[in-house]
Amino acid sequence: MGTLTILGLVPLIGSIVVAVGAGPSLKRAKQLALLFALITFGVAVYAISQFDRSSTEPFQLVESHQWIPTLGLTYSVGVDGLALVLLFLATLLVPLVVIAGWNDVEDTAELPSSDGQRPGQVRGYFALILLLEAMMIGVFVSLDVFLFYFLFEAILIPVYFMIGRYGTGRRTYAAVKFLIYSLVGGLVMLAALVMLWFTAADVLGSPTLFLPDLIGLPMDAGLENLMFWGFFIAFAIKAPLWPVHTWLPDASGSATPGTAVLLIGVLDKIGTYGMMRLCLPLFPEASQTFAPVIIAISVIGIFYGALAAIGQTDMKRLFGYISLSHFGFITLGIFVFTSQGQVGAGLYMLGHGLSTALLFMVAGYMIMRRKSANVADYGGVVKPAPVLAGMFLIAGLTALALPGMSTFVSEFLVLLGAFTVNPWLGAGATLGIVFAALYVLLLYQRTMTGPETDQVRGMPDLNLRERWVLAPIIGIVVFLGFYPAPVLDVLEPAVANTMEWTGSSDPETELTPVAEGSQP
């Protein structure tokens, strides 16, 4: 049994143990969930240590077994640099979410919800977190396209219950909307998957959906275009991108802060990961043909998300729109087809996940104390809770991509890639940073500064447990802001392979030679 298989099995087994083997003790259920999450992170660190950065192989730690031989389907897993970075993100955030959300959900007998329904048991909530982690890991390591699709769809189940059963406000509406959008995208992807299966069987002489065998597969241009859009639409909904984004603000507004961290910080990366992992290498001609359309959508999303965030009164919905703007930057980096842009997009996925975790966790602590996500219910928080206000400022600065934060490096690389292709495109996308500063500073001003309001008077500051949860995220964000080389070194070979598979190359920069004897 390979390392990646063990990595996926640990949280899956943990989910079962927490759900049925924790007994009546709610504390034990939480402790078991944390234990399995930490073990999973340990296995992920071991997998990272086994990754050879100098290898020329496109995928490492590969394991493949027959699954359904008559259909040519296999259980095949492996990773490249991009998958490895996202595995680190997922396995890091899950134990932190477990600790941060220690009291998010109480036992059915103890805390009925405000609408008369019961939120369920603690065991169920933490079991779903581990199940979600197992499926996210499976998606990131899948090398069989059908296995990817299977987990891509199955992941909807834990998320649906985490929002619909354990959320707040219009949780049922938000969960159903998320489910419908995702199912529609999945059905479109399934149609494209069937076409890909028949194409592979026709060209190769036997059916297969093993990704390395499909890269470079010759196909009819019209058919390639159809399959590209089938996959891309599913990924655009999952990310999400404008205009198929409307489920995101509802889901982020209704989910618990812990669920929102995993949903937006990690799960949504499956969409942008799928674009780089499947759309570009499988459909290289179509990817370049429709790149201008997708770039236009990305730029619209950058501005739309930023402007919509400015007008929000609910903090969690506001963070959802911030993410929509950030996903525009990620897809822009992917589809400018430059190494700087795509490396920046990969680093942006990591930075955005950490930034989102900070925002939702700090906001979650505030909401837990004030029992409200309404921006107007806060003001002057810096006086009773200076540490909380300081953490909120750091979280906001990561979203703003301040120099010294990992998000700055990724955003700079994406914009550099855009400028290389088209200076006007880069300049237009750069304006999105101005709006980012506006919504972050306005939110901080409205909630943290000014006179201390009656609603926040006496608000407890962050306790030791809450500070320790935020500390490692802040440490990683700052470390990568000043020294991103460890992540860039892992991402660059993966991007080089993607550039080769798509037949892309960086535009040459023309330099004017300096005349002999003249000043340079």
Residues 447-469 pLDDT 10s: 888 887 777 788 888 888 888 88
- Per residue in 186-211, is it b (16+ CB within 10 Å) or e — as a string? bebbbebbebbbebbeeeeeebbbbb
pLDDT of residue 520: 43
Distance CA 140, CA 57 (A): 17
| pLDDT, average across residues 377-402 | 87
Instruction: List, in sequence order, every residue forming a beta bridge with 75; answer none if it has no partner.
Output: 65
Question: Containing H/E element for 67?
Answer: strand 60-68
Decide if pLDDT at 512 tops 50.
Answer: no
* CA distances, 333 to each of 155, 343, 346, 348, 353 (Å): 26, 8, 9, 9, 16
Distance CA 181, CA 31 (A): 35
Share of the chain above pLDDT 70, in %: 93
| pLDDT, average across residues 377-398 | 88
Instruction: List, in sequence order, every residue forming a beta bridge with 77; answer none if it has no partner.
Output: 63, 142
Place of tokens 């506001």: 318
3-class DSSP assignment, residue 161: helix
* CA distances, 85 to each of 48, 89, 489 (Å): 9, 6, 11
Q: How far is CA 333 from the centre of its chain?
A: 15
Judge whether 362 and 336 are in contact, CB under 8 Å: no
Decide if pLDDT at 149 tops 90.
Answer: yes
Decide if pLDDT at 391 tops 70.
Answer: yes
| pLDDT, average across residues 496-502 | 89
Judge whether 380 and 456 are in contact, CB under 8 Å: yes
pLDDT of residue 26: 74
| pLDDT, average across residues 280-297 | 92
End-to-end Cα separation, the chain, in angstroms: 60
pLDDT of residue 335: 92
Sign of the torsion angle spanned by Cα atoms 396, 354, 254, 26 = negative
Residue 70 exposed, middle or buried by CB count within 10 Å (0-12, 13-18, 19+): exposed
Q: Which of 21-25, 193-197, 413-417, 473-477 is the least confident region?
A: 21-25
Decide if pLDDT at 343 tops 60.
Answer: yes
- Phi then psi dihedrals of residue 510, to 5 deg: -85, 125
Decide if pLDDT at 53 tops 80.
Answer: yes
pLDDT digits (tens, 9 = 90+) for 300-336: 998 888 888 887 888 888 888 888 888 889 999 999 9
Amino acid at position 385, single letter: A
Instruction: List, in sequence order, every residue forming a beta bridge with 389; answer none if it has no partner.
Output: none
Distance CA 459, CA 457 (A): 6
3-class DSSP assignment, residue 75: strand
pTM: 0.89
Within 10 A of 279 (CB to CB), how many other CB atoms are there? 25
Distance CA 343, CA 42 (A): 26
User: What are the DSSP calls for 236-267, one per residue?
Assistant: HHHTT-TTS-THHHHHHHHS-HHHHHHIIIII
* CA distances, 316 to each of 248, 319, 443 (Å): 10, 5, 12
3-class DSSP assignment, residue 520: coil
β pairing state of 73-79 and 60-68: antiparallel
Task: Pinpoint the alpha helices (H) of 267-374.
Answer: 269-274, 280-282, 284-289, 291-310, 315-335, 339-370
pLDDT digits (tens, 9 = 90+) for 111-144: 444 444 343 477 888 999 999 999 999 999 999 9
Judge whether 465 and 103 are in contact, CB under 8 Å: no
3-class DSSP assignment, residue 66: strand
Distance CA 184, CA 250 (A): 18
Distance CA 333, CA 319 (A): 21
Decide if pLDDT at 83 tops 90.
Answer: yes
Decide if pLDDT at 109 tops 70.
Answer: no
Decide if pLDDT at 485 tops 60.
Answer: yes
158: preceding bond cis by omega (within 30 degrees): no
* Per-residue DSSP letter, 461: P
| pLDDT, average across residues 403-426 | 86
Highest mean pLDDT among 26-30, 52-56, 296-300: 296-300
- Per residue in 370-404, is it b (16+ CB within 10 Å) or e — as a string? eeebebebbbbbbbbbeebbebbbbbbbbbbbbee
pLDDT of residue 107: 38
| pLDDT, average across residues 231-239 | 93
Please count the helices (runs of H) and the strands (runs of E) in the chain: 22, 2
Question: Containing H/E element for 463?
Answer: none
Instruction: List, in sequence order, every residue forming a beta bridge with 395; answer none if it has no partner.
Output: none
Instruction: Give the closest residue to 327 by CA, choosing from 271, 284, 287, 281.
Output: 271
Mean pLDDT rounded to a whole number for the chain: 86
| pLDDT, average across residues 152-181 | 88
Judge whether 97 and 38 are in contact, CB under 8 Å: no
Distance CA 228, CA 469 (A): 41
Residue 243 sits at the vertex; the CA angle it makes with 504 and 215, to the nearest 5 degrees, is 30
Distance CA 125, CA 139 (A): 21
Task: Pinpoint the alpha helices (H) of 205-246.
Answer: 211-214, 221-238
Q: What pLDDT band is residue 152 in, cutting at 50, 70 and 90?
A: very high
Decide if pLDDT at 42 tops 90.
Answer: yes
Q: What pLDDT band is residue 25 in, cutting at 50, 70 and 90?
A: low
Instruction: Give the closest residue to 426 by CA, choosing from 438, 439, 409, 413.
Output: 413
pLDDT of residue 87: 94
